[in-house]
Structure 1
Amino acid sequence: MRDGVRLATDVYLPGAPGTPETGAGDTILIRLPYDKSGEYTFIPLIAEYFTARGYRVVAQDVRGKFRSEGDALLFVNEVDDGYDTIEWITHQPWSNGRVAMWGDSYYGYTQWAAVASQHPALKAIAPRVTGTQLGEPVRPRPGERTRPVEWAITYLYPVTYFHSRDAYFWELDATERPYSAQVERVLDELGSRSISYDQWYPRAVHLPRFPVASPFDARPVPTLHTIGWWDNCAPLSWADVAEIEQRPSWALNHFLRIESMDHEAYYLDDAEEDRVEERTEDQLRAELPRMLEPALEFFEVFVRGNGSAGDIPRVSWNLAGTEGMRADAAWPPPGARTRSWYAAPGTGGDGRGRLEPDAPTTETTVEWTHDPADPVPSSVPNAFAFLLHRPDEAPIGARDDVLVFDAEPATDDLDLTGPVRVAARVASDGPVMDVFVRLLDVAPDGTALRIARGQVQVTDATAPADVDIDLGQLGYRLCAGHRLRVHVSSSDSPEFIAQPGTGEEPWGARETVPNRQRLLLGGSHPFRLDLTVAPTSEGAPA
């Protein structure tokens, strides 16, 4: 690198072992912090797949990780290091000067960083399940009463993956406060600090990631942008999509792909034998075509110049619950319309409310208690691998601190294709209130699959607040006989940092106090669920 630091880099050349293909060719660069030679990311198998198509593959441990020199500092060195690595590639005898990039999560982020570096040799990127603001702590804005709820991974990731060259795994005990003290014990045991953790806690220092305000201020680079319907980081991806749509030159170079997968590339339609935490080499190889062929088709056009942009669909997407990919000119698909459901109090003795097509005319208030000592549990042990477990979330609705609202069963298949939002008025007897909303598909047998979710934090919560909660995007078929269900709660622990009830900063809070939470139904401030419905879909109230 320009400062003399050396980054460990593997080069894979096409051809039989010992007899690499002669001459120069196109290169695919992968820059990651998860060990370029390890089993977790199986880069050697990916490189084998790419080289079989004639590409040179360069895999690199980012600065400070595994075999690379330098400090393990999240995000801030990736622009310059990306530029210097691409520059190095262009001077190698096996390179023809054209470079593409591929990868998931952090090694999707390194692609956006390389775009921001504006190296002219970067011809195309294929970032998956990532975002330009990946891992950034929530920034409170003066005067705003609502803001995002902080993920626990924000503070755990710098200690597990970016403490030093190695990775250190440990589990947060959500019953033991303060959480910050658990981190300090880990750092004491390791015998050194994590500069990435210390830049974010106890007072966040937001070091600049990009030399410009956003990668989208840089020269547009053709991008195949892959999002998973069940990716917990999907909100970051969709935020980038919204930014790109405001920039015509970037929008012309942007191609969207949306799949029924989570962050760790488990799919909704995976066979049970493939729904395992440790996948065999044969299982991984079987996944490679689905994972890599879209990028290869994209690079064929934008790196090798074979074909035209019109050969690639602007939006390729899977309607979850159906087979195959669909193609559209835009997202949401043209003709999709918004339909609303409203929460109403229940009429039975089970305490469940209803979702109805018309807002109740009578204003009522429903309440629940948020107890930080007994928070609503997260439904999976690993939020990044939701579909590995594909949990039944119906039991969560049996808790006293979860409000449940049910719609009538769909009379026909209902295709949900676009944004999902909730508008509501809430309040609390505590100073800060978190509101979590989950949208579920309830099958006739009573099992419930989460299909969308959103959350918001309200400050000065003792006064009623109108909240607009983004539940993300949906491409999902609700089958006839299934019903929609909404869960409303104030925690999802340990995936999100639970409010202590005192108003104290939650990562360092020591004491906890239960809060009584309130949600308004009907009247002038109804709880409204807005769904986007495909134009051909039946079963939606008019």
Structure 2
Amino acid sequence: MAYPVRPKQTVSMQTRDGLRLDADLYMPDSAPDCLESFPVLLMRQPYGRAIASTVVYAHPSWYAAQGYIVVIQDVRGRGSSEGEFDLFAHEISDGEDAVNWAAGLPQSTGEVGMYGFSYQGMTQLYAAANRPRALKTLCPAMIGYDLYQDWAYEGGAFCYQLNLGWAVQLASETVRRQGDLEAYRTLYATARSLPTSNPVNAESGILRQLAPDSHYHDWRRQDQPGDYWQQLSPQSYMQAVDLPMLHIGGWFDTHLSGTWRFYKEMAARSALTQHLVIGPWAHLPWGSRVGGLDYGDAANSPIDRLQIRWFDRFLKGIDRELLDEAPVSLFEMGQNQWRRFVQIPERQITYHLTTTGLAALDLREGKLTTEPQSSEQPDTFVHDPWRPVPSQGGHAAFPAGAFERSAIDCRTDVLTYSTEPLEADLHLAGEMSVTLNCAADTPSFDLCAILSEVKQNGTVYNFTQGYRRVIASPNAAATHQITLQPTCICLGSGSALRLSISAACFPAYALNPGLPPGLPQRLPPKSPNAGGLSEPTLAQSPSGHGSSGHSSKGDLGSSLLEAQVITITVYGSRSQVLLSVAG
């Protein structure tokens, strides 16, 4: 039954250290002669509670109409809640306090579930860390399980575009709370113009001046895994937690690796129900069209109804049929349908790289074959930092998704290897990787690997990619693995599979200057930007920030002004693509 919903109320709680946290409360309106009790659904977020993640979820009033008390809370230092916002630092204690408070609300059954994506997904894991008794189930969506490798960095390379945009967004809320209208206008305009505005200005000028305490500056300095990241990562606190969880992700979401690994860990060790649902979505929204492709009506988000079924089962004890369903639900792109699996597919096939040495010049010269070929002719290409290979779609750029990329593949700084037209449909599902044997003439270089479908009409659409920052001896061939995003796609008969290799994917990832690790370079002052800012820039080569203690003022500026031209040679006969397939 659908309940009428009372007008929204603002309610407050007090943290253990005496701060007020505010929330919006949505209550079902039961019959006057029956004071009915309801479970509580809690979301904790940093973007202003009125939004309530409606960019991907139904409005909280819809959830309340299904028979739940819904609480949307501003975390510490955000919205109208008291305190100073310190990214993720207080979410364990504040989250536990919020769960216990929500369980004691009038007409609450005392049982709490949580939902939300991105930061709101992370707050669920932090709240569960101390195992509050009232918390019965979670629905974490699009989370960074290991904050370093699932959020800030990928393969050792900083996820530049999305993290810069997010930092500007958070900084805007900080100055809004401080009442600094001029700073808010500047940051708001910067956020609205990214990624087309000058990102050097956004990072080394505007963000440093207006948000000197932003987490972004720490994230740039801490460029290696270590204690800093362990203290912030949910992975460090979840080992003793066991709750039924509905894990939600998107094939083009920047945090898919975190969702994927967390589900695999919980499915392996948990005694309770774990389900995984991954749609063809970017971080937001969760609709049928992602990037340049429309995946049909089936791709429209089923998550709201599914979450109600989940909460009905684990907070109300109904809908037992849920337990009989296969736990892994993956959207298969190409066929544009949902597929269910008892477990994540693991059967793998291998493609080998074959080339005449001209894979950078002619799309016909690089081949992917199921049998290794006796070709020792390597491919050599040159990365010019002044004209880096641009990012287009995928999971690490904005906008994300699948886009037609044939023009990029025609560049001479991109190697391409393609199969012959497929004789039968190829169903890929699960984990993918590329192993390249290569050498470069600098001590540091990047490798970007992208898999695409070459359709019969000649159009080319990416469907998964990965990135790796390499530290190696110059001109010494070595083997490097690039982990790609998991995926699920059917490549139709007559189409072809293509692998594209480059040394940049900018601005999705920060450019690699090609310098030895830990080598700082003093650069001349930049020209004043639109905000009138001018300052010298300290360039820092890869792996230098965390280990040497040097600070960096604008890695993009260092990349462009100090970066080396890099020559990379790939030995195709010693390289391969490993794909998981679904029966």
**Shared topology, TM-score over 0.5?**
yes
Please tell me whether the aligned partners of residues 129 and 233 of structure 1 are also in contact (alpha carbons under 8 angstroms). yes
Shift of 1:299: 1.2
1:9 aligns to what? 23
Counterpart secondary structure, 1:225? strand
Shift of 1:42: 5.1
1:307-322 pair list within 5 angstroms: 307-308=319-320, 310-322=323-335
Please tell me whether the aligned partners of residues 149 and 155 of structure 2 are also in contact (alpha carbons under 8 angstroms). no
Please tell me whether the aligned partners of residues 64 and 164 of structure 1 are also in contact (alpha carbons under 8 angstroms). no
Counterpart of 2:134, as a letter, is A
Counterpart secondary structure, 2:252? coil
Aligned equivalent of 1:223, options 238, 245, 253: 245
Question: CA distance change for structure 1 residues 211 and 443 in 2, over 3 Å: closer, same or farther?
Answer: closer
Please tell me whether the aligned partners of residues 454 and 469 of structure 1 are also in contact (alpha carbons under 8 angstroms). yes
Please tell me whether the aligned partners of residues 346 and 354 of structure 1 are also in contact (alpha carbons under 8 angstroms). no
Question: CA distance change for structure 1 residues 513 and 199 in 2, over 3 Å: closer, same or farther?
Answer: closer
Aligned equivalent of 1:116, options 109, 129, 140: 129
C-alpha distance in 1 between matches for 2:463 and 2:57:
34
Shift of 1:267: 4.1
Where in structure 1 are there 5+ consecutive unaligned residues? 141-145, 276-282, 536-542
Question: CA distance change for structure 1 residues 466 and 394 in 2, over 3 Å: closer, same or farther?
Answer: same
Higher mean Cα deviation, 309-318 or 441-450? Answer: 309-318
Question: CA distance change for structure 1 residues 272 and 474 in 2, over 3 Å: closer, same or farther?
Answer: closer
RMSD: 3.4
Where in structure 2 are there 5+ consecutive unaligned residues? 1-14, 177-183, 517-539, 543-553
Higher mean Cα deviation, 148-157 or 123-132? Answer: 148-157
Q: May I ask how many residue pairs the two structures share in their alignment?
A: 507
2:283 aligns to what? 263
User: Are residues 1:533 and 2:577 paired?
Assistant: no
Instruction: Give the TM-score normalised by structure 1.
Output: 0.84
Shift of 1:3: 1.3
Counterpart secondary structure, 1:200? helix
Shift of 1:213: 6.0
Shift of 1:269: 5.4
C-alpha distance in 1 between matches for 2:290 and 2:441:
45
User: Are residues 1:232 and 2:262 paired?
Assistant: no
1:121-270 pair list within 5 angstroms: 121-134=134-147, 147-152=155-160, 153-162=162-171, 164-165=173-174, 166=176, 168-169=187-188, 170=190, 179=200, 182-187=202-207, 190=210, 192-203=211-222, 206=228, 209=231, 214-246=236-268, 248-249=269-270, 252-268=272-288
Higher mean Cα deviation, 112-121 or 237-246? Answer: 237-246
1:540 aligns to what? none
Please tell me whether the aligned partners of residues 151 and 255 of structure 2 are also in contact (alpha carbons under 8 angstroms). no
Shift of 1:342: 1.0
Counterpart of 1:459, as a letter, is I
Counterpart of 2:282, as a letter, is D
Counterpart of 2:92, as a letter, is V
**Residues 468-508 of structure 1: CA deviation (Å, up to 9, x unaligned):** 22113221111111110110001111111111233443653
1:477-488 pair list within 5 angstroms: 477-488=490-501
Instruction: Give the TM-score normalised by structure 2.
Output: 0.79
Shift of 1:14: 1.3
Counterpart secondary structure, 1:130? coil
Report the structure, 1 or 2, having the larger helix content.
2
2:567 aligns to what? 516
Shift of 1:325: 2.4
1:126-525 pair list within 5 angstroms: 126-134=139-147, 147-152=155-160, 153-162=162-171, 164-165=173-174, 166=176, 168-169=187-188, 170=190, 179=200, 182-187=202-207, 190=210, 192-203=211-222, 206=228, 209=231, 214-246=236-268, 248-249=269-270, 252-268=272-288, 290-308=302-320, 310-332=323-345, 337-346=347-356, 350=362, 352-380=365-393, 383=397, 385-387=399-401, 390-462=402-474, 463-503=476-516, 504-505=540-541, 507-508=554-555, 509=558, 510-522=561-573
Question: CA distance change for structure 1 residues 8 and 273 in 2, over 3 Å: closer, same or farther?
Answer: farther
Please tell me whether the aligned partners of residues 79 and 209 of structure 1 are also in contact (alpha carbons under 8 angstroms). no
Percent identity reads 27
Please tell me whether the aligned partners of residues 463 and 487 of structure 2 are also in contact (alpha carbons under 8 angstroms). yes
Question: CA distance change for structure 1 residues 391 and 164 in 2, over 3 Å: closer, same or farther?
Answer: same
Counterpart secondary structure, 1:467? strand
Shift of 1:515: 0.8
C-alpha distance in 2 between matches for 1:110 and 1:521:
44
C-alpha distance in 1 between matches for 2:265 and 2:117:
20
Please tell me whether the aligned partners of residues 108 and 127 of structure 1 are also in contact (alpha carbons under 8 angstroms). yes
1:42-121 pair list within 5 angstroms: 45-121=58-134
C-alpha distance in 1 between matches for 2:270 and 2:142:
23
C-alpha distance in 2 between matches for 1:379 and 1:271:
9
Higher mean Cα deviation, 455-464 or 320-329? Answer: 320-329
**Residues 319-371 of structure 1: CA deviation (Å, up to 9, x unaligned):** 22224422221111xxx632111111159872541111111213221111111
C-alpha distance in 2 between matches for 1:378 and 1:21:
58
